[in-house]
Amino acid sequence: MKRNAFTMKLLPGNEAEYEKRHDEIWPELSQALTEAGVSDYTIFLDEESLTLFAVQKLADKHTADALPDLPIVRKWWASMAPLMETNPDHSPVCKPLREVFHHD
């Protein structure tokens, strides 16, 4: 199991809508994440900077790298694009984080 962490950035005024959409996450998207070996996925918000901090576990034989090719993921990105910083393909601008400490 590998831990994966990254940051994303919300646009001002979208905090409540971002949380609402995740509270109502599409079952097809949730299923795609599970099938790709993504688990224990949590997103935190720094309300001062609007930085989102995401952390997830990836199974040893995960296929998370293929998620961007799935239509359901692209549809989710398009729906979330008005709320956050995105790339031209509507994927969120993600900055990977290097793990420097872990304690079980």
Tens digits of residue pLDDT in 44-80: 999 999 999 999 999 999 999 999 999 999 999 999 9
103: pLDDT confidence band, cut at 50, 70 and 90?
very high
Q: Please give the Cα distance from 48 to 55 (Å, whole number).
A: 19
Q: Please give the Cα distance from 84 to 70 (Å, whole number).
A: 20
3-class state of residue 103 by DSSP: coil
> Which residue carries 């995105």 as its tokens?
86
What is the predicted pLDDT for the residue at 43?
Answer: 98
Q: Which residues contact 42 (CB under 8 A, 6 or more apart)?
A: 54, 55, 56
pTM of the full structure: 0.93
**Which residues, in sequence order, are bridge partners of residue 95?**
7
Tens digits of residue pLDDT in 86-97: 999 999 999 999
Dihedral (CA of 27, 33, 36, 37) sign: negative
Tens digits of residue pLDDT in 3-50: 999 999 999 999 999 999 999 999 999 999 999 999 999 999 999 999
Any catalytic annotation for residue 22? Answer: yes
What is the predicted pLDDT for the residue at 5?
Answer: 98
What the chain holds in terms of domains, given with CATH numbers, is 2-97 (3.30.70.100)
Tokens linked to 4: 């994966």
Q: Which residues contact 66 (CB under 8 A, 6 or more apart)?
A: 36
What is the predicted pLDDT for the residue at 34?
Answer: 98
From 22, 62, 102, 103, the catalytic residue:
22
